[in-house]
Amino acid sequence: MSIIEVKNLVKTYGKVRAVDRVSFAVQEGEIFGLLGPNGAGKTTALEALEGLLVPDSGTIKILGQDPRKHLREARGQIGIVLQYTGFFPGLTISELLHLFSGFYNHPQPLAELIARFELGPILDKEYKGLSGGQKQRFVLAIALLHKPKVLFLDEPTVGLDPAVRQHFWEIIIELRKQGLTILLTTHYMEEAEIVCDRVGIVDHGRVVACDRPVKLINSLGVVSHIKFMSSKPVSVGSLEELPGIISARRDRYTYDLETREPEASLRELLEWEKRFSGKIFNLQVQQATLEDVFLKLTGHSLRP
Q: What is the pLDDT of residues 21-73, one digit of tens each?
A: 999 999 999 999 999 998 899 999 999 999 889 999 999 999 998 888 887 78
Task: With cut-offs at 50, 70 and 90, classify the pLDDT of residue 304.
Answer: low
* Domain-located, residue 165: yes
C-alpha dihedral (83, 84, 90, 96), degrees to nearest 10: -20
The verdict on 26 and 172 lying in the same domain is: yes
The verdict on 231 and 206 lying in the same domain is: no
The verdict on 47 and 151 lying in the same domain is: yes
Residue 196 CB-half CA count within 13 A: 29
Residue pair 194/169 in contact (Cβ under 8 Å)? The answer is: yes
* Domain-located, residue 200: yes
The verdict on 197 and 249 lying in the same domain is: no
The verdict on 191 and 252 lying in the same domain is: no
Residue pair 152/79 in contact (Cβ under 8 Å)? The answer is: yes
The verdict on 152 and 212 lying in the same domain is: yes
* Domain-located, residue 293: no
pLDDT tens-place string over residues 212-242: 998 898 877 788 999 999 999 999 999 999 9
pLDDT tens-place string over residues 129-182: 999 899 999 999 999 999 999 999 999 998 889 999 999 999 999 999 999 999
The CATH code of the domain that includes 231 is: 3.30.70
The verdict on 253 and 213 lying in the same domain is: no
The verdict on 46 and 154 lying in the same domain is: yes
* Domain-located, residue 140: no
- 165, 191, 218 - which closes a domain: 218
In eight-state DSSP terms, residue 181 is: E
- Please give the tally of structural domains in the chain: 2
The verdict on 169 and 252 lying in the same domain is: no
Question: C-alpha angle with apex 157: 152 to 161, nearest 5 degrees?
Answer: 165
| pLDDT at res. 270 | 94
pLDDT tens-place string over residues 112-124: 999 999 999 999 9
Q: Is the pLDDT of residue 292 over 70?
A: yes
The verdict on 201 and 240 lying in the same domain is: no
pLDDT tens-place string over residues 246-287: 999 999 889 999 998 888 999 999 999 999 988 999 999 998
State which residues form the domain around 205. 2-85+146-218
The verdict on 206 and 268 lying in the same domain is: no
* Domain-located, residue 20: yes
The CATH code of the domain that includes 48 is: 3.40.50.300
